[in-house]
Chain A
Amino acid sequence: MALSCLTRALRSLTLSQPAAAWSKLGAQVPSSAVIQCRGFLTTASLEQNRVRWKQREKYTIRPIGMKKTGGRDHTGRIRTHGIGGGHKQRYRWVDFHRLRYEANREGQPFEEKVVEVRYDPCRSADIALVAGGERKRWIIATENMQAGDIIKTSGVIGRMAVSANEGDAYPLGALPVGTLVNNLELRPGKGSEYIRAAGAGDLHGHSGTHLQRRPQ
């Protein structure tokens, strides 16, 4: 793009100018030889991975190379201080929407097997690779999750409360009062936004519609 601007600008520099104009120009503006030139860039912007690494649509379990911003915005100035440096990290795309059904199996509760639990440099919690059906995905690992565990995900709210094991995912209404929950999803389908960090866990409150914060 810079090259095309350059060539366009140079094309506009014609040598055949009226003599009077040239002499007057020469007198008044010794430095400028440009009459009607837009000016051209002599640098080109390098293609940086600034936002394109985040725009991938297809889910993948392979780690994605990140571009650190250092708190800088699109103008290049610091918008948020205190960010920058640190070890290079690769982003592992964690699927926060636990109740994501596979293509053919909508509506049924399903089970998944934990393949491995590993450290994630992008967050304080560990992540677990779970495989179920024909797909694999990363989720936030709970405290005692180990490779080989089977975890259940269900969207059904029955009349009786479910006896949930660690790592399972149920709607809050199906869980008994007093269970410790994490990765809470407030709006159905949006993905979990609360209680995701390491050591976080909230108590399912009495009336069933609120959570009690556990004393730290």
Chain B
Amino acid sequence: MFPETAQRLKTAAPLFSHAAFLTDLKRLSAHGGARRHLTVGRCLTAKVPPPRKPRERVEIPGLEMVTYGERMHYVPGLAKPAPQHWERDYKDPRYYKSPPAHEMRLYKDKPCYMFNQRTSALEGVRQAAWLTKTQVIPGLPAQLLSLAENPENQIPDQDERVQNAIKHARFWDTTEDRPRKEKYSNTLLLNLLHLCATLQCSHPAVGRRMLAENYSLATTWKRGEDLLQIRGQNGLLLNSMDPLPEMSGKQEVADTADHVLDAFYPVSPTIDLQKVHVYKEEVNHTGFRDDYPYPHAHTLYFLESADPRCKLRPEQFRTKMIMFTFGNALARAHKLYGTRPQRLLDRPVTVQSVGTNGRIFQFMVFQLNTTDLSGDDGIKNQMWLEEDVELYDFAKVRPLIKKKQVKVQFLFEGRRGFH
């Protein structure tokens, strides 16, 4: 192939000097890939030779290699200088490489397990209960249910207004055929919140609450020998000037000491948590400054579609709810009573939370009784969890058309009796 090419090139351009020719050919042959030459319209190499491995550099201790680095040009016989590490003397943010983990300022040997908004815990509610030292009680406490059933606490025309809210979220809030899940779940939540806020005339306590969004939460606690942290930007939080009343009395709190937490051998309780060696110790921050007028966390609202990249299954979604509610309660307790573990809090911190995917709701009330979470025995926290409450069965957008006449614009089937 090459002699042929050489002949052709020679006939084509007799003006070329022999040396230039050879350099050209050498360049052609030295390059690894098939090169196209303008004068020769065909492939010059059929098969790419495998990349040659560079010669091994042998380091002999005591013998210094004489390199041509100082002479600034190649000298046959001298060794190639080893590549020098060069660093910019000024700081350029475009070309900044972060140091490896063990050279960072906050590096610690002991790892910390972080729970964040994207964590998908394998064991679900049991894992959250173990990590937060909580007793899970299915169903909401009786006081809350009686409050909801009380007709004084209900909005006039409640059923109709809630149905309108659902119809607005599911059918009317778009110029396209149907609104997307992120949009309708968010709209529905805000509509329902607005309906609750209309009770302000009869219940002045509603006016002492404030909504907050995207605040950064950080809490630390020790469980056994492991250090655990919750970090994340939560979605929606209802803050209040007054703390929530506690749900269970002193006797029930003392009874939780007999409850045994569910263990799930052989899986470790810290599975799926992000293990980091670079972290700030003892970081406890509610997300708000000290002089915020609404310091107590009242209710958290979680949307399943808040993060489009992270899809959590229902069990994992409930775990996230539990962990972040606990994080808020613990941050508040640390602020009130200090970071030293307390076996029994004088006034337990209560936080509620609601999670939804647009149709199915999960309700939860968390009561923090103790901040002494290192051992498995002793007083535990309590949690009331009501799972999978459907607000309505289905909401069909496609209109029912019979004989080219629109009979029903949209179908919406709900349950009688809303909470």
Chain A residues close to B by CB (< 8 Å): 21, 24-25, 28-29, 31-32, 34-39, 41-42, 74-75, 110-113, 115, 131-136, 150
Q: Which residues of A contact B46 (CB under 8 A)?
A: 75
Tell whether, in the assembled complex, residue B39 and residue A36 are in contact, meaning their CB atoms are under 8 Å apart: no
Q: Which residues of A contact B37 (CB under 8 A)?
A: 38-39
Contact of B266 among A25, A38, A133 (CB under 8 A): A133
Tell whether, in the assembled complex, residue B271 and residue A39 are in contact, meaning their CB atoms are under 8 Å apart: no
**CA A21 – CA B46 in complex, angstroms?**
34
**CA A133 – CA B122 in complex, angstroms?**
12
Tell whether, in the assembled complex, residue A133 and residue B268 are in contact, meaning their CB atoms are under 8 Å apart: yes
Tell whether, in the assembled complex, residue B266 and residue A134 are in contact, meaning their CB atoms are under 8 Å apart: no
3 A-B pairs with least C-beta separation: A39-B37, A111-B266, A134-B268
Q: Which residues of A contact B28 (CB under 8 A)?
A: 38
A25 and B15 in contact, given A75-B48, A131-B122, A134-B271 (Cβ under 8 angstroms): yes
Q: Shortest Cβ distance from B134 into chain A, in angstroms?
A: 21
Contact of A136 among B38, B122, B275 (CB under 8 A): B122
Q: Which residues of A contact B24 (CB under 8 A)?
A: 36, 38
Q: Which residues of A contact B264 (CB under 8 A)?
A: 113
A-B contact count (CB 8 A): 67
Can you name 5 A-B residue pairings with CB atoms under 8 Å? A36-B20, A39-B35, A39-B38, A110-B266, A133-B271
- 16 more CB-based (< 8 A) A-B contacts, given A29-B39, A31-B39, A110-B266: A25-B13, A25-B15, A28-B13, A32-B12, A35-B13, A36-B20, A38-B37, A39-B37, A41-B36, A75-B48, A111-B266, A112-B266, A132-B267, A134-B268, A134-B275, A150-B266
Chain A CB count within 10 A is highest, among B24, B38, B268, for B38
Chain B residues close to A by CB (< 8 Å): 12-16, 20, 24, 27-28, 35-39, 46-48, 122, 264-268, 270-271, 275
A113 and B267 in contact, given A39-B37, A41-B36 (Cβ under 8 angstroms): yes
Q: Which residues of B contact A39 (CB under 8 A)?
A: 35-39
**CA A32 – CA B39 in complex, angstroms?**
6
**CA A157 – CA B375 in complex, angstroms?**
37
Q: Which residues of A contact B39 (CB under 8 A)?
A: 29, 31-32, 34, 39
A113 and B275 in contact, given A36-B20, A37-B38 (Cβ under 8 angstroms): no
